[in-house]
Chains A and B, each alone.
Chain A
C-alpha cells in the first residue's frame, strides 16, 4: 500500500534515520499530503515524549547527568587479538584538561561592546504607530495596563491616530544619501545618547542574571575542564555576507567535513546578495546534505557553552555585531574557554581566529551580543552522538522548553532593576520572538509593539534599522492576528533599503493575499524567490496561489525551524479577508482550525474532534464557512472554531511580570524628536522613499555586511 510506505518513512524521518535522498523524497510528499503532515506531527509528539521520558531516567534535578567511572577488572584480557591496524589518533585535547597548546592571550583579547553607533545621519527611522488596530477588548486593555504600568495607558489613549501612519523622527536621511561622516548635522541636534549608551553597557564584570531561574540553569558538571581549546578547525575567512556558511563550514571541518563555505552558500544563499541566513537554514543544510546532525535552540547560556565545548562540541552562536557604525547579524564559532579568567574563545569568519587560538570574549560582552538573537545557538555533531548531545543540553534539549527558558530569563531580566535601559528594546524583541516560537501571537504582538514602538527603528534609542534583515518574528506575529497593514509597513521599510531579504517579500505577499490582492502577492512571492531561489515558504505559497488553494503561512517552530505545514498545529485568527459571521461581535478575534474534510466526517464529528461539546456549534460552523453541513465536501477545508478559549473572543491576558514598569526615563531619552506626543503621531505620515540607494560609504565598506 503506497501510503503505508510513507507512514513508515515518516517515523524514520522523525527518528532521524532516513538517508538524505529519502528525506528529500518524503519532504516533497509532505508538501502535498495533509494527512501525512498530521501523522508527522503526531510522531514528533511521540518522539519528544520518548526522549524526555528516557532521559529523565538518568537526569537528577536538572544537573548534568553523571556517568559512573568505568571499572575494568585488572585481569581483563581480550581473548582474540586482531592483526595490527593503523594506530588510533590520540583523543582530542578536551579530555586532558589543561591543554598544552593554549597560550595566554590576554594582551590580545578583543572585546566588542554593544555600542550604539554614533550616527551622524539618521537613515530613515521608523516610528511605529502601534496599538491602533489591536482588537483588544476593554477587559484585556485594563489588564494590559495593570501589567505594563503607565506606558500602555499612555499609548492606548491615542486611538485617534491615523491608520497606516508612522512618523520618521527626522527629516535627515529621507533621500537615503549617506554623506561622509561629519558633513551633515543631525536634525534635532546631535544626540547626547552615545555617551550614555556606552557607559551603561561597559561591562562591570558582573554578568546579567541570565540564569535567573534555578530550575533552568544547566550547572556545569563536576568534571568540566578549566581550560579548553578544541583544535583541528579549519579556519575560513568569509566572503561577502557569507558569515553563516563560513562559520558552519568551520564547525563541520572539526569533524572532518571537507566542504567549504561555498558548498553551503550554493544551497542556502544561491543569490549571493541574500542578506542573511537563518540558523534553521544552516541546520537544515547539515541534516539534509551532510552525514552529520545539527540542532538549533534559543535560550543558550554561558553554562551551555562551557558544557558543550568542554565535552568536545564547538558551538555556533548568532550575535549582533557592530564593526564600524552599522549593526549587523553575525555568527561566531565558540571553540574554547577558560574559567579563570572567565573568557570564551571564538573563530570569527570576519575578524579572524587569533592565529588559531581564538578571539577572546569575556562572558558579559559575549552575552550582550548574543542577546540580540535571543541566545540562539547551533550544535553540529556526528549522528552517533545524538543522545549524548541531548543529555548535555539538559533542559534545553526540548526546543519548546528552551524557548520557555529564554522567555523566562528575558522577562526576569526586564523585571530586574539592573537591566540597562537601552537593552530593553532587545529584551522586548526577544520576548516577542519567544512568544512567536511558542505560537502565542497575541502576546508576541504586544511585546513587539513595545520593542518597536517604544524606541522605533534606527532612532537614538531604538533597535538597529537592520534588525529586520535578520529577524522576522514581528511579521509572523502581526500576520497571525490580522494586522496586515503593519506587516506591509515593516516589509516596505526593509525593502526600501534592499531587495535581498526574501522574508520581507514573502510576508508582504502573505499580507496581500489576506487582503485579497492576489496578483500583487504573486509578484511578491516571485521577488522572494529572486532573493533566494531555495526559499521554501515562498515556493509553497506560490504553488498554492497558482493552484487556487488557500495560501497558508509557515510557522517558526521553537527550534527556529520553518514548519511548512499549514496551521494544523495552532489556532489562527480568522483572516480579515473572510467575512466574519454576523453572530460574532465586530472586532472580535476568533480563533479557528483549518481542517480538511475526510470521508465519513460530519460537522458534528469534526466539532467533537476539536473539543466542542455543544452541538449548537454547528450553527457557527455553517455561518463561518458559508456552507450547509448536510452537504459537506470531502477534501474541502473547514474552519472550525477553537474550543479551548472563550468563544466570546476575549483575548488571553499577557503573562508578563506586573512589576515591569515602562515609563520613559528622562535621563535616557535626550532627543526632543523621540518624546512621543499624541499630536505628533496623529499628524505625521511616512512617505516611502523608493529611490533609496546605498551610497558610496556603504558599498565601499569592505567584506562585511
Chain B
C-alpha cells in the first residue's frame, strides 16, 4: 500500500448518488444542487429528445428536480439513481406532451438535421454522419432504447424499467435497430479509416 505524503483533505471523496439522495431526503438543498449538476445536462438532453423543444424541456427538468426533492424519501435504492431520475423524467415528459397539443411535427423531424433517406446517407463522405442521420429514421421507441443504453449507460433491465416494458422488449428493440442500420453500418466499415 502507498505511504501517503499527505492525508486526504475534506471532500476527498465526492459523495455517491445514493448518499446525495439520502441527504436530499433530509432537506439538504445543496445535495439537490449537486445531483442536478451531475445529471442535469444528461436529463435535459433526454427531455429535449422526448419533448422536442428546448424551452419546454428546461421547464420539465425543473419539475423533475422538484419531484426528486419531494420523492427522495421514497427512494429505496433498489434501482440506481440514474434510472430513478430518468423514469421521473420520462413520466413528466409524457405529461407535458399530453398537456400541450402536438406541434404537428414528428419527433424524428425535430431532431434530425436533414431529411435524406438511408440511401442518400450511404453516399455521404463522413459515414459517422450517415449513421447519425440514419438514426433519425428509426422508430422513436428504438431510438429511445439506444439512447438509454448507450448514452445514459443503463443496463437492459434498467432501461426496461424506465420505459415500462419487459427486458426482452429492450433487447429486441436494440437488435432491430441494428438491423435497420445495417446498410449504413456496412458502408461505414468500408470507408472507415
Q: How far is the CB of B29 from chain A (nearest CB, A)?
A: 6
Q: How far is the CB of A578 from chain B (nearest CB, A)?
A: 21
Q: When the two chains form the complex, which single residue of B8, B11, B17, B33 contacts A93, counting CB atoms closer than 8 Å?
A: B11
Contact present for B10 and A388 (CB under 8 Å): no
Contact present for B32 and A70 (CB under 8 Å): yes
Contact present for A79 and B2 (CB under 8 Å): no
Contact present for A232 and B44 (CB under 8 Å): no
Contact present for A48 and B49 (CB under 8 Å): no
> In the complex the two chains form, what is the Cα distance from A51 to B42 in whole Å?
11
**B178 on interface, CB distance cutoff 8 Å:** yes
**A205 on interface, CB distance cutoff 8 Å:** no
Residues of A within 8 A of B136 (CB): 53
Residues of B within 8 A of A47 (CB): 150
Contact present for A70 and B135 (CB under 8 Å): no
B 42-54 to A, binary, CB cutoff 8 A, 1 in contact else 0: 1011101100001
> In the complex the two chains form, what is the Cα distance from A442 to B19 in whole Å?
53
**A662 on interface, CB distance cutoff 8 Å:** no
A 476-520 to B, binary, CB cutoff 8 A, 1 in contact else 0: 000000000000000000000000000000000000000000000
B 71-92 to A, binary, CB cutoff 8 A, 1 in contact else 0: 0111000000110000000000
Contact present for B13 and A15 (CB under 8 Å): no
A57 and B154 in contact, given A78-B70, A88-B19 (Cβ under 8 angstroms): no
> In the complex the two chains form, what is the Cα distance from A356 to B6 in whole Å?
8
Residues of A within 8 A of B146 (CB): 46, 50
Q: Which of A47-95 contact B (CB under 8 A)?
A: 47-55, 57-58, 65, 67-68, 70-73, 76-82, 84-85, 88-93
Contact present for A45 and B30 (CB under 8 Å): no
> In the complex the two chains form, what is the Cα distance from A49 to B54 in whole Å?
21
Task: Give the residue among A53, A65, A93, A387 with the most B Cβ atoms within 10 A.
Answer: A53
Contact present for A85 and B26 (CB under 8 Å): yes
Residues of B within 8 A of A610 (CB): 190
Q: How far is the CB of B147 from chain A (nearest CB, A)?
A: 6
Interface size on B, residues (CB 8 A): 86
Closest residue of A by beta carbon distance from B7: A234
Contact present for A236 and B2 (CB under 8 Å): yes
Closest residue of B by beta carbon distance from A609: B186
Q: How far is the CB of B149 from chain A (nearest CB, A)?
A: 5
B 96-111 to A, binary, CB cutoff 8 A, 1 in contact else 0: 0000000000000001
Contact present for A50 and B135 (CB under 8 Å): yes
**A391 on interface, CB distance cutoff 8 Å:** yes
Contact present for B13 and A260 (CB under 8 Å): no
Closest residue of A by beta carbon distance from B184: A45
**B93 on interface, CB distance cutoff 8 Å:** no
Contact present for B9 and A78 (CB under 8 Å): no
> In the complex the two chains form, what is the Cα distance from A253 to B37 in whole Å?
22
Contact present for B25 and A82 (CB under 8 Å): yes
Q: When the two chains form the complex, which single residue of A84, A231, A644 contacts B26, counting CB atoms closer than 8 Å?
A: A84
Contact present for B131 and A48 (CB under 8 Å): yes
Q: How far is the CB of A319 from chain B (nearest CB, A)?
A: 22
Residues of B within 8 A of A266 (CB): none
A70 and B62 in contact, given A232-B11, A439-B193 (Cβ under 8 angstroms): yes
Contact present for A54 and B11 (CB under 8 Å): no
Residues of A within 8 A of B15 (CB): 88-89
Contact present for A49 and B6 (CB under 8 Å): no
A234 and B8 in contact, given A46-B185, A261-B2 (Cβ under 8 angstroms): yes
Contact present for A17 and B154 (CB under 8 Å): yes
Q: Which of A343-395 contact B (CB under 8 A)?
A: 353, 356, 382-388, 391
Contact present for B22 and A73 (CB under 8 Å): no
Q: When the two chains form the complex, which single residue of A14, A45, A78, A398 contacts B27, counting CB atoms closer than 8 Å?
A: A78
Q: Hey, which bits of chain A sit against chain B, CB under 8 A?
A: 7-8, 11-12, 14-17, 38, 41-43, 45-55, 57-58, 65, 67-68, 70-73, 76-82, 84-85, 88-93, 101, 231-237, 249, 253-256, 258-261, 312, 353, 356, 382-388, 391, 398, 400, 438-440, 568-570, 593, 609-611, 642-644
A-B contact sample (5 more), CB < 8 A, given A82-B73, A643-B190: A80-B73, A92-B11, A356-B6, A609-B186, A644-B191
Task: Please list 10 pairs of residues, one from A and one from B, whose beta carbons are closer than 8 Å in the complex, sorted by A's number.
Answer: A11-B174, A12-B155, A12-B156, A45-B131, A49-B131, A50-B135, A50-B146, A81-B25, A89-B12, A439-B192
Q: Hey, which bits of chain B sit against chain A, CB under 8 A?
A: 1-2, 4-6, 8-15, 17, 19-20, 22-34, 36-38, 40-42, 44-46, 48-49, 54, 58, 61-62, 65-66, 69-70, 72-74, 81-82, 111, 127-128, 131-132, 134-136, 146-147, 149-156, 171, 174-175, 177-178, 181, 185-193
| Interface pairs A-B: 3 shortest CB-CB | A232-B12, A260-B2, A439-B193
